Amino acid sequence: MKDSQRKAMMANLGLRNKIKHSHDPSHGYYKVPNSTLDKLGIRGKITQYSKKGKESTHLEEDQDMTTFTKALALKGIKLTERDFQDKYYDDPNKNPARPFR
């Protein structure tokens, strides 16, 4: 798949910007628009370990991010390092993505 095709497919899914990865010494989360989860048909499969918001969900890095990447793979999209924006927090209590504080 050409890069232009990949970008167009991602844009159609609502992934026009980099996926924000917030992590701390304990865990990590990926911020994805809820509209993207809806278009992939997986919003109802997201566990309580992710932080669900009105506009977006911070997917926990293990099970829910795996569900997300598998759904993308079914569309022919494989995420790469350039698809992410990384933010590290030394203190887990300062990570705004953490659902349980």
- Full-model pTM: 0.89
In the chain, % of residues over pLDDT 70 = 98
Owner of token pair 């993308």: 72
Whole-number Å distance between alpha carbons of 4 and 11? 10
The answer on pLDDT for 51 being more than 90 is: yes
For 87-97, the pLDDT digits (tens) are 999 988 888 88
DSSP state of 18: P
The answer on pLDDT for 3 being more than 90 is: no
For 61-85, the pLDDT digits (tens) are 999 999 999 999 999 999 999 999 9
Whole-number Å distance between alpha carbons of 57 and 7? 21
